[in-house]
């Protein structure tokens, strides 16, 4: 059973996570400042401003990054090269594999691709380098 930690501001990531949990039964927890992280999982976040990582996600990463097996991010393709850039920035700064970048709340194809990527990885060896890098 996979665990997903997510950050959502406008509801797009939350809707994406609802689709994922409806299909898989995985556990999804929205991050908040006083949450305690005790289990490994995957992070899904959004991109804010001009390709930036949200402050709430940055704060979460300060105490939970060692528990994260992958990161995925939402964005808007209208931002060009800054599309879903938060995931790339987190991957680079924390060495967490980038799993998927998707637009807004994701299409059904995005949801199925995310599920397939997460299911296909062997997480017995924590932080297995960049081999999870399937991001588009």
pLDDT digits (tens, 9 = 90+) for 5-54: 999 999 999 999 999 999 999 999 999 988 999 999 999 999 988 888 99
Q: Where are the beta strands (DSSP E) in the chain?
A: 3-6, 27-30, 41-46, 68-75, 98-103
Q: Which DSSP state fits 51? A: T
Give me 114's structure tokens.
């995310």
Residue 48 gets which letter from DSSP?
B
Please state the pTM of the whole predicted model: 0.86
Per domain, the residue ranges of the chain are 3-120
Homologous superfamily (CATH) of 3-120 is: Flavodoxin domain (3.40.50.360)
Enumerate the β-bridge partners of residue 3. 27
């Amino acid at each position: 059973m996979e665990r997903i930690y997510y950050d959502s501001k406008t509801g797009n990531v939350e809707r994406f996570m609802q689709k994922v949990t409806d299909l898989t039964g995985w556990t999804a927890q929205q991050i908040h400042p006083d949450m305690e992280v005790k289990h490994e999982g995957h992070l899904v976040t959004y991109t804010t401003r001009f390709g930036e990582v949200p402050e709430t996600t940055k704060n979460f990463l300060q105490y939970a990054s060692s528990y994260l097996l992958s990161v995925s991010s939402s964005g808007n393709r209208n931002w060009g090269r800054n599309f879903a850039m938060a995931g790339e920035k987190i991957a680079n700064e924390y060495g967490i594999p980038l799993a998927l970048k998707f637009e807004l709340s994701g299409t059904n194809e995005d949801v199925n691709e995310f599920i397939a990527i997460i299911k296909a990885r062997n997480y017995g060896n924590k932080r297995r380098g960049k081999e999870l890098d399937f991001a588009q």
